[in-house]
Structure 1
Amino acid sequence: MKINASGHNIEINSTIREDLEEKFEKISNRYSSLISLDVTITKEHGEYEVELRTNYEGAAIAASGKDKVMYPAINKAAKKLEAGLAHRKGILKDNLHEKPVVTAPEIAYEKIQEMKLP
């Protein structure tokens, strides 16, 4: 998976890049159809905000995290991204299952009509 990292009011150095690659390697292995991940790290008013964006199976998934320290902000955003990806994967698997056909109301209606109630 290709990670495109950019920063606002912060320089993305090799240490941050390596940490991002290590953090998202697990997600990349679990969701093999992920091609790229856009990471934007912003520092404003002494607080870091990390925004993550990717496309997974035809849907855009985005997540963000804030903290006064950069690495916990990255962790928060990564957890939210993983939850979004798991939700999308669940929706895709749910659509593969055949839905049961409900015939009970019609049968019950017919039986009530056949009964001779006083």
Structure 2
Amino acid sequence: MQVNISGHQLEVTEPLRAYVSEKFSRLERHFDRITQVQVIMSVEKLRQKVEATLHIAGGEVQAHADHEDLYAAIDLLTDKLDRQLIKFKEKQIDRLHGHGPAARG
């Protein structure tokens, strides 16, 4: 998994890079076919914003979060992405086993 981190009006420090890498490695435990991650961090007034796009086998997953604390925003973002990846994986399993919407009715 390749992680690209950039900042708008914000310097991305080494501790921030390490924290993001640690959090996104957790996502790989739920869905191992993540090929690339694009993370953009920005500051707007007093809000710290983080958005990410995950390129995965079969599509993309996007999410964004904002908070007063940048580390809390990263936590919120990874939680959202985690839920989306689990949902995406369940949909793939349902399609594989023939339980998709077309099979229901």
TM-score scaled by length of structure 2 = 0.89
Helix, strand or coil for the counterpart of 2:34? Answer: coil
Structure number with higher strand proportion: 2
- Contact 1:56–1:85 (8 Å) recurs in 2: no
Distance 1:84 1:101, change over 3 A: closer
Match runs of 1:24-35 below 5 Å: 24-35=24-35
- Contact 2:48–2:69 (8 Å) recurs in 1: yes
Q: Which residue of 1 aligns with 2:9?
A: 9
Deviations for 1:44-101, whole angstroms, at most 9, x for unmatched residues?
1111110010122211100111101100000111111111111110110000113579
TM-score scaled by length of structure 1 = 0.80
Counterpart of 2:25, as a letter, is E
More off after superposition, 54-63 vs 83-92:
54-63
- Name the count of aligned residue pairs: 102
Whole-Å separation in 2 of the counterparts to 1:63 and 1:2? 17
Distance 1:89 1:9, change over 3 A: same
Whole-Å separation in 2 of the counterparts to 1:30 and 1:61? 14
Q: Which residue of 2 aligns with 1:49?
A: 49
Deviations for 1:13-60, whole angstroms, at most 9, x for unmatched residues?
111101111111111233211111110001011111100101222111
RMSD over aligned CA atoms reads 1.7
Q: Which residue of 2 aligns with 1:69?
A: 69
Which stretches of structure 1, 4 residues or longer, exceed 3 Å deviation after superposition? Answer: 98-102
